[in-house]
Amino acid sequence: MANPSILILAGDGIGPEVMAEVKKIIGWFGTKRGIAFDVTEDLVGGCAYDAHGTPLTDATMAKAQEVDAVLLGAVGGPKYDVLDFSVKPERGLLRLRKEMDLFSNLRPAQCFDALADFSSLKKDVVAGLDIVIVRELTSGVYFGEPRGIFTEGNERVGINTQRYTESEIARVARSAFELARRRNNKVCSMEKANVMESGILWRQVVQEVHDKEYPDVELSHMYADAGAMQLCRWPKQFDVIVTDNLFGDLLSDMAAMLTGSLGMLPSASLGQPMANGRPKALYEPVHGSAPDIAGQGKANPIACVLSFAMALRYSFDLGDEAARVEKAVEKVLADGVRTADLMGPEGGKPVTTSQMGDAIIAAL
Amino acid sequence: MANPSILILAGDGIGPEVMAEVKKIIGWFGTKRGIAFDVTEDLVGGCAYDAHGTPLTDATMAKAQEVDAVLLGAVGGPKYDVLDFSVKPERGLLRLRKEMDLFSNLRPAQCFDALADFSSLKKDVVAGLDIVIVRELTSGVYFGEPRGIFTEGNERVGINTQRYTESEIARVARSAFELARRRNNKVCSMEKANVMESGILWRQVVQEVHDKEYPDVELSHMYADAGAMQLCRWPKQFDVIVTDNLFGDLLSDMAAMLTGSLGMLPSASLGQPMANGRPKALYEPVHGSAPDIAGQGKANPIACVLSFAMALRYSFDLGDEAARVEKAVEKVLADGVRTADLMGPEGGKPVTTSQMGDAIIAAL
Ligand SMILES: CC(C)[C@H](C(=O)O)[C@@H](O)C(=O)O
Ligand SMILES: CC(C)[C@H](C(=O)O)[C@@H](O)C(=O)O
């Protein structure tokens, strides 16, 4: 049987630096655990635009469709702010999500014990926090038509369309309920059904899927504004949150920030099963390309490493190996190894991106 | 000259209770300060539906158009959850906003010293916080057409439209810049210009209005997801935030919750100047109708009292009198007078809604 295949798209900014550490770990799995992957690399985002005039070539897109998993670093940077909307770095990422049909975006918001003090929230509010936001990723206002800037009379009008079909809602709801069953069996669905008809349909379909297929899971509904409040007030009330693309964008970033562990948080974007039974999948850290610290060896590779751990679990059915990576990260943190972003007021000497990677491998 | 006129729409849940305290204060202004208002009262929300089968009658709508200011309590309650979308309590509020054309919603997120400990955030992150979110209130996805739930093939589709014209963006931007000039001269505009064309237009128009009319104000732009993160991380970096209706809904609620002073926060919704020079205006607390504690004398009337103070300032040009009310509230808090929602772990005996109102009047 062929080795499982991975396409690495390191992208811009700190993307290549953090991905370099993941490549070391992939190498470690090959030599030390006899688990080999076929790895290819390619460009996405600003670097792809620089090379090809587009943030994602058709050839790269085709490769992404064929591999068992895509690992992505980060895209974007101030250099590309002036580009036209259609070729901005983000379009590369959005094209991958859409064409691979990665409808279920799992964003854990987890507070690492060793880092609870980094949160702007009180320690008792976040310590031990472990929730997952399941964000719909291929529809909603991100992709709805009509969209654009038009002229009406003598002024411009900006238009976007929020659009959800029943089946789009049902499939992401299922993925949230499945996840909840493997966790604490509780799902909270968020929308603005008091204002938006698309939210009414969202609420109805989530409820229907629940009643028919997952009556054993505890389901609640919350307006997204109240949800944002409750995430600030007492995030531990949640287990799995399911929400649409746009609310999910805000709420998952916010939840990530709450933990104080932003540089640590991975994400998985999953689609339909392929012929080999594995889901289409893309893994990426929640943090961005951080152009301000790029190229200085300051970036924290842990979010990217943990994204690879998610790949082991969700794409390669290697849950034990995933746990091994996660434990190694915890050990390194408990040992006080810190990149610059994790330095507390007590000071100390931060390690470089590469030293952090080495420490994780030593702990493996 | 006729007295300035106020329409009180106390609404549902704790609305009537908290509004009763405002009526006492209005009475106090008449007898003690010789500042009399012509006050009329009417129904909005669930109570209007119970009486008339609609959350806002045309007659009430007409009255709201004629007065100098509307004071609103809160709308909604579980009893009305089963109602059709078109007659839900919220529709009454949304109709007022739309037909009065109240495009600029000022939502202060202020942390009261005496209450900083109530925040789920660390004290140094929120103590002294004083920012205002200016939310566009009459357009965007709240009102855009087409909207509804349709059938396509054999499934339902939920559709809403985000729609902003240049002039809609420009007028709310102006209102944010004007406010910033009276504060710390700094505006941060939030959208998702990396994903939504309506966000691109938003960013362009805000920048144009700035460059032409308010070059003296410091302007920055932030994606709304990053904005949500930054509000959690270090909210004091902001002064005035301007954003659209939907992002404003989430971000302002979140910012309010950050302060730990949710039961304390007022809001003003302002429109175009009327013939008498006063803007169309509606004032309401940020908190909701809190059906769980309604009718028990437990509600905190301070948010509603401070909404009246905003009316004194923005509708009646009585800034000094507004400050008098605000100082009275601060004094009462400093004296340790607390409604149930403000009781800390150290305990003590909470005062009732009415006792809190009396204490404020005593302090006036
Ligand atoms: C980069 C951007 C297009 C993207 C999004 O808005 O989805 C990012 O914020 C994210 O959450 O992955
Ligand atoms: C009650 C509801 C319609 C309203 C809104 O979504 O605008 C509320 O959340 C608010 O923020 O005033």
| Residues A102, A245 contacting (CB under 8 angstroms) | no
- Distance (Å) of CA A354 to CA A152, A153, A322, B120, B179: 54, 57, 21, 36, 48
Instruction: Please provide the CATH number assigned to the domain covering A1-108+262-364.
Output: 3.40.718.10
> What gap in Å lies between CA A205 and CA A219, rounded to an integer?
12
CB B108 within 8 A of CB B356: no
Q: Do A159 and B197 make contact, defined as CB atoms within 8 angstroms?
A: yes
Average pLDDT, chain B: 96
Locus of tokens 């390194």:
A332
CATH of domain B120-259: 3.40.718.10
For residues B268 and B351, give the distance between their C-alpha atoms in angstroms, rounded to a whole number. Answer: 27
**Which of the residues of A are catalytic?**
142, 192, 225, 249, 253
Strands (E), A142-185: 144-152, 155-165
Task: Decide: B226 in ligand 1 pocket, CB within 6 A.
Answer: no
R_g (Cα) of chain B, nearest Å: 20
The beta-strand segments (E) located in B154-264 are 155-165, 186-191, 218-223, 240-243
Give the separation between CA B69 and CA B316, rounded to whole angstroms: 9
- By Cβ distance, the residue of B122, B142, B228 closest to A121 is B122
| Residue B328 near residue B360 (C-beta atoms within 8 A) | yes
Shortest distance, CA B360 to any CA of chain A (angstroms): 28
Domain B1-108+263-364, architecture per CATH: 3-Layer(aba) Sandwich (3.40)
User: Are the Cβ atoms of A122 and B120 closer than 8 angstroms?
Assistant: yes
pLDDT mean values, one per 10 residues, chain A (364 residues) = 93 98 98 97 98 98 98 95 91 97 97 89 95 98 98 97 98 98 97 96 98 98 96 97 98 94 93 94 95 95 98 96 96 93 82 97 96
Say which of B198, B228, B233 has its CB closest to residue A160. B198
Instruction: Map residue B304 onto helix, strand or coil.
Output: helix
pLDDT higher than 80, residue B129: yes
Whether B249 is catalytic is yes
**Which residue from B minimizes the CA distance to A167?**
B155
Would you tell me which residues 2-61 of chain B have a C-beta closer than 8 angstroms to some C-beta of chain A?
Answer: none
Q: Are B146 and B159 in contact (CB under 8 A)?
A: yes
pLDDT of B292 reads 94
Best of B190, B191, B192, B195 for a ligand 1 pocket test (most atoms within 8 Å of beta carbon) = B195
Q: Which tens digits make up the pLDDT trace of A113-157?
A: 888 889 999 999 999 999 999 999 999 999 999 999 999 999 999
Across the interface, whether the CB atoms of B229 and A256 are under 8 A apart is answered yes
Q: Which ligand has an atom closest to residue B94 CA? A: 2
Strands B279-285 and B69-74: parallel
List every span in chain B annotated with CATH 3.40.718.10.
1-108+263-364, 120-259
Q: Which of B17, A270, B22 is nearest to B7 (CA)?
A: B22
A225 Cβ below 6 A of ligand 2: yes
The rounded distance, in Å, linking the Cα atoms of A99 and A301 is 28
Q: Whose CA is nearest to atom 10 of ligand 2?
A: B249
pLDDT at position A346 is 72
Task: Verify whether ligand 1 is closer than 6 Å to residue B194 (CB atom).
Answer: yes
pLDDT digits (tens, 9 = 90+) for B102-111: 999 999 999 9
Q: How far is B263 from chain A (nearest CA, A)?
A: 13
Answer yes or no: is B148 a known binding residue. Answer: no
Total residue count of chain A as it appears in this document = 364
CATH 3.40.718.10 range(s) for chain A read 1-108+262-364
Q: Which residue matches tokens 């930054």?
A: B230
Question: Which A-chain residues 246-265 have CB contacts (< 8 A) with chain B?
Answer: 246-247, 249-251, 253-254, 256-258, 262
Q: How confident is the model at residue B348 (pLDDT cuts 50, 70, 90)?
A: confident
Hey, what are A218's tokens? 């505890």
Pocket test for ligand 1, best of A90, A102, A244, A253 (most atoms within 8 A of CB): A90
Output the CATH code of domain A120-136+166-259.
Answer: 3.40.50.2300
B-chain residue closest to A121, CA distance:
B121
Q: Single out the residue of A179, A166, A171 nearest to residue A205, CA to CA.
A: A166
What sign has the CA pseudo-torsion B180, B183, B188, B191? negative
DSSP letter string, B18-62 = HHHHHHHHHHHHHHHH----EEEEE--THHHHHHHSSSS-HHHHH
Q: For residues A131 and B104, what is the distance between their CA atoms, to the nearest angstrom? A: 36
**B24 contacts: CB under 8 Å, gap ≥ 6:** B357, B358, B361
Q: Are A23 and A358 in contact (CB under 8 A)?
A: no
Are the CB atoms for A124 and A107 separated by under 8 Å?
no
DSSP state of A140: G
Residue nearest to atom 2 of ligand 2 (CA): B90
For A235-274, b/e burial (b = at least 16 CB within 10 A) is: beebbbbbbbbbbbbbbbbbbbbbbbbbbbbbbbbbbeee
Q: Would you state the structure tokens that stand for residue A239, as one six-digit string?
A: 């287990």
Split at pLDDT 50, 70, 90, the class of B303 is very high
Q: For residue range B179-222, list pLDDT tens digits in order.
A: 999 999 999 999 999 999 999 999 999 999 999 999 999 999 99
Q: Provide the pLDDT for residue A262.
A: 84
Predicted local distance difference test score (pLDDT) of residue A113 = 84
Both structure tokens of A262: 């932003």
The verdict on the CB of residue B90 being under 6 Å from ligand 2 is: yes
Q: Can you tell me the distance from the alpha carbon of B192 to that of B116, in angstroms, rounded to the nearest whole number?
A: 32
Q: Is B121 an interface residue toward A (CB < 8 Å)?
A: yes
CB contact under 8 A, B226 and A253: yes
Instruction: Give the ligand whose atoms come closest to the C-alpha of residue A89.
Output: 1
| Rounded (to 5) percent helix, strand, coil in chain B | 50, 25, 30
How many Cβ pairs closer than 8 A exist between chain A and B? Answer: 188
Q: Which residue of B has its CA nearest to A80?
A: B194
A5: which residues sit within 8 A by CB, 6+ positions away?
A37, A38, A39, A40, A66, A67, A68, A69
Instruction: State the binding site of A for substrate.
Output: 97, 107, 135, 225
- Residue B42 pairs with which residues in a beta bridge? B9
pTM of the model: 0.96
Q: Which ligand is nearest to the CA of B255?
A: 2
Ligand 1 centre to CA of B197 (Å) is 15
Helix (H) or strand (E) holding B5: strand B5-11
B273: buried, middle or exposed (CB in 10 Å: 19+, 13-18, 0-12)? exposed
